[in-house]
């Protein structure tokens, strides 16, 4: 009986998902409960782009990172910068 019940539930859910109002309600519930995804990857700049954004050379930017005056993320040997952190400078 358990397998038949599961098949019936799946059929009911599939049928309900054909209705756009049901999909909108489910989307609203999920967005309400689930945490917002982080946008860290989208906001990351490489050293060349970050230097251009700040109006300095990439070498000067690397020196500022070395001195600790500019924060960065290290991904392997690469430096990445959050635009939001650079804007606050």
pTM score, two decimals? Answer: 0.53
Q: Is residue 60 part of a domain?
A: yes
Instruction: Report CA dihedral (64, 67, 70, 73) to the nearest 10 degrees.
Output: 110
Q: pLDDT by residue for the chain (89 residues), tens digit each?
A: 455 656 788 888 888 888 888 888 887 787 777 666 665 455 799 999 999 999 999 999 999 999 999 999 999 999 999 988 898 76
Q: Could you tell me if 88 and 80 are in contact, meaning their C-beta atoms sit under 8 angstroms apart?
A: no
Helix, strand, or coil (residue 35): coil
Helix, strand, or coil (residue 59): helix
Q: Is residue 26 part of a domain?
A: yes
State which residues form the domain around 49.
44-87
Interatomic CA distance for residues 72 and 45, integer angstroms: 10
Number of folded domains that form the chain: 2
């Amino acid at each position: 009986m358990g397998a038949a019940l599961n098949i019936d539930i799946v059929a009911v859910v599939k049928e309900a998902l054909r209705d756009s109002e049901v999909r909108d309600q489910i989307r609203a519930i999920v967005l309400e409960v689930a945490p917002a995804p982080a946008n860290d990857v989208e906001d990351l700049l490489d050293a060349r782009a970050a230097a251009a954004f700040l109006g300095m050379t990439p070498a000067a930017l690397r020196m500022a990172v070395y001195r600790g005056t500019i924060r960065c993320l290290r991904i392997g040997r690469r430096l990445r910068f959050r635009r939001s952190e650079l804007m606050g400078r």
